Amino acid sequence: MITDLNTIAGLAIANETANNHLKAILLAMDSDAVDATVVDLQATITPQIDCTQCGNCCRSLMINVEKTDAERLAQHLQLSTQQVYERYIETSSQGSLAVMNTIPCHFLCDNKCTVYAARPAECREFPGLEAPDFTKRLFATFMHYGRCPIIFNVIEGLKTAVL
């Protein structure tokens, strides 16, 4: 199990060819079989990695925010929803897309989420490996391979399982 972020980032570059090969194999496999393998790997790996000690996603990802997320944050922070939008969220000119307005996240302090109980759904669901149709999310998954120890180790486990 590799959890050092610098090691993972370096291996992500070094493993690019092998990862492209893995993607091609996964796309040729039965989707349900891939999902089952990923879920099994994720169930074994995730408990061994404490996301609250890592926080790399909070330091490096742009987080989409839904209206319900803003409302939950407002209640938690004892602010109005409008105040949450004004302070922490950037909305597209069409108003259809809202994201946290800083990277790293405003709410990351001493490598801990200060709004953990009220964090946005995208944060709660990350890395989302247990969702069905893993092979339809390969681009996004591999985009995070070099920054998330859970994703990195699940992908490495997939290599062992299918290569």
Number of alpha helices (DSSP H) and beta strands (DSSP E) in the chain = 10, 4
- Whether 101 and 134 map to the same domain: the answer is no
Structure tokens at 160: 């062992």
* pLDDT for 95 beyond 80: no
Task: Render pLDDT for 14-58 as a digit per residue (tens, 0 to 9).
Answer: 999 999 999 999 999 999 999 999 999 999 999 999 888 888 999
Closest CA to 19 of 139, 114, 107: 139
- Whether 73 and 85 map to the same domain: the answer is yes
pTM metric for this prediction: 0.88
- Whether 130 and 54 map to the same domain: the answer is yes
- Whether 116 and 36 map to the same domain: the answer is no
- Whether 99 and 120 map to the same domain: the answer is yes
- Whether 66 and 105 map to the same domain: the answer is yes
Question: Within 29-137, where are the H helices?
Answer: 31-45, 51-54, 56-60, 67-77, 81-88, 121-125
Question: Structural domain of residue 145, as residue ranges?
Answer: 5-58+126-162
- Whether 103 and 133 map to the same domain: the answer is no
